[in-house]
Structure 1
Amino acid sequence: MDTFMKTYWGVAVFAMMALFCGATNADNKAIEQALKEALPGVKPDSITPSAMAGLFEVVVGPKLFYVSEDGRYLFQGSMIDIKAREDLTEGKLANARISSLKNVGSNNMIAFKPESSKHLVYVFTDIDCGYCRKLHSEIDQYLTEGIEIRYLFFPRTGEGSDSYNKAVSVWCAEDRNAALTKAKRGDTIEKRQCENPVDRHLALGTQMGAAGTPMLVTEKGNILPGYVPAAQLAKILSQEAEK
């Protein structure tokens, strides 16, 4: 699944470049049509002028592209305001990540909530990942810090693997939170099948560039790769909130 999605997006980008090269007077509708042909069934979330004259920002889920106003060129990468020393792309990507996560919906995640919530973190997790298990073994510490954890599944070995099947079984359990805790301890859980969001989680994590787990996404849309202790995470989130 992981390799497939990366290949899919890679091919799609080249396909879009070829399509844009054929346009002469690109506007929003022309760009939408090019995207429609390159990515069937996918519609851009927004097409807006960028900070640089002659370039448009195209947001598709958690992805952002730059397209020239004549439709000939497509760019990927960061736009830096040298004078302000600011990465203009990362801020837009952060917003796109949060929008994508909200589209998934909290009802399609497994949440561990503190009595009094100060912060929210989305965690892409693999049940069999060592550091994912370490993070979850300290869940009470995160809750004490007022951090709500919302889990999305990212079985690194892909669809149909043992980790993937465990994720499905956890989701289909009568008590998902208890089943997740049990699975992360390495205990055997009952195998179950039902309608589940695991594929959607996996696809979104891939689109966001997840290279490993756990991958944390803050409530402002910033990515923290890897395990972060509760006290340190609380400090990072407080500093982020102040900005």
Structure 2
Amino acid sequence: MQIKNIALSLAASLLLAQPLLAETDGKGAVQQRLAKMMPGAKPDSISESPVKGLYEVVFGPQVVYLSADGRYFMKANIIDLETDENLTEKRRSSAIQGALAEVGEDNMIIFGDTSKHQVTVFTDIDCGYCRKLHKEIAAYNKADIQIRYLFYPRAGVGSPSYDKAVSVWCADDQKKAMTQAKDGKKVAEKKCDNPVVEHMRLGELMGINGTPAMILPDGELLPGYVPAAKLSQYLEGK
């Protein structure tokens, strides 16, 4: 699994970079600028946006814009005022779906068998509302909602919350260990190859700043705890 960690470096590099010569325009200029900013890093896509002279660049779940001459950077929403549609949000939702597919379910802890709805949740084991959500796991599953956990220990790498996440991932029975940890019970300390840091990087790229954070099947992000009954009603109405 390879998630590109550009959340902080992208904007900083763009601000510090010198303008390109005007001899290269369009997609080529955008590619040249990106190559100078982030050697070796490749965007998932570069395409013309609905706005003339502006190119859309997608990195994992992140959507940004560069001018055709590679000089100007924008991190904003493009809204079609005729249709009242947020074109960037629509594209971002699609990018988020793609990023989660890249992570793969082998790198998630999943509660619930094949269900009508699959909801991905960034969770912090020590977060109060994350624990409240987990106490409703049976209710979510009964409502035909599968919960797919990714770790997002807000205190960062090396914190007790991070260490607990690693121990849960490395446990012989991950789901049992997750439930014990969410109940405030001690989980045997273990270390192994794990995706916790990659989960955190993906969350940063998505702009997540609190837990729990729910990603719906269509890529929509719902911040915070949503009770099972209310979430089911919302999903059925989409």
Q: Do structure 1's residue 102 and structure 2's residue 104 form an aligned pair?
A: no
1:54 aligns to 2:56 (yes or no): no
1:225 equivalent in structure 2: 223
Q: In structure 1, what is the equivalent of residue 203 of structure 2?
A: 205
Counting helix residues as a fraction of each chain, which structure ranks higher?
1
Q: CA deviation at 1:109?
A: 0.4
Letter in 2 for 1:155: P
Amino acid of the structure 1 residue aligned with 2:154 = R
The 1:40–1:161 alpha-carbon spacing in structure 2 relative to 1, beyond 3 Å, is: farther
Counterpart in the other structure of 1:216: 214
What is the DSSP-based 3-state SS (H/G/I as helix, E as strand, rest coil) of the residue aligned with 1:21? coil
What are the equivalent positions in structure 2 for 1:95-174 lying under 5 Å apart? 95-114=94-113, 117-174=115-172
SS at match of 2:156: coil
Cα pair 1:216 1:224 within 8 Å, conserved: yes
* Aligned CA-pair RMSD: 1.6
Equivalent-residue separation in structure 1 for 2:211 and 2:35 (angstroms): 32
Give the CA deviation at 1:23. Answer: 4.2
Deviation of 1:237 after TM superposition, in Å, equals 1.4
Q: Distance in 2 between matches of 1:9 and 1:145?
A: 35
Provide closer, same or farther for how the CA distance between residues 36 and 70 of structure 1 changes in structure 2, counting only shifts above 3 A.
closer
For 2:227 and 2:75, locate their aligned partners in 1 and report how far apart those are by CA, in whole Å: 33
Out of 167, 188, 191, the residue aligned to residue 190 of structure 1 is 188
Deviation at 1:179, TM superposition (A): 0.5
**Contact 1:20/1:73 (8 A) holds in 2:** no
Aligned residue pairs: how many?
A: 233
Write the distance in 2 (CA, Å) between the matches of 1:44 and 1:20: 20
**Uncovered stretches (5+) of structure 1, i.e. residues with no partner:** none
Distance 1:136 1:202 in 2: 19
Which residue identity does 1:71 align to in structure 2?
Answer: G
Distance 1:90 1:81 in 2: 11
Contact 1:135 1:227 in 2 (8 A): yes
1:89 aligns with 2:84: no
Contact 2:133-2:227 within 8 A present in 1 as well: yes
State the partner residue of 2:38: 39
CA distance in 2, matches of 1:215, 1:28: 35
Distance (Å, rounded) in 2 between the aligned partners of 1:199 and 1:113: 24
Which of structure 1's runs of 4+ aligned residues deviate more than 6 A?
none
Range moving further from structure 2, 218-227 or 41-50: 41-50
- The more displaced of 21-30 and 80-89 is 21-30
Aligned partner of residue 121 in structure 2, secondary structure:
strand
**Distance verdict in 2 for CA 1:98–1:23, change over 3 Å:** farther
Q: Which amino acid aligns with 2:139?
A: Q
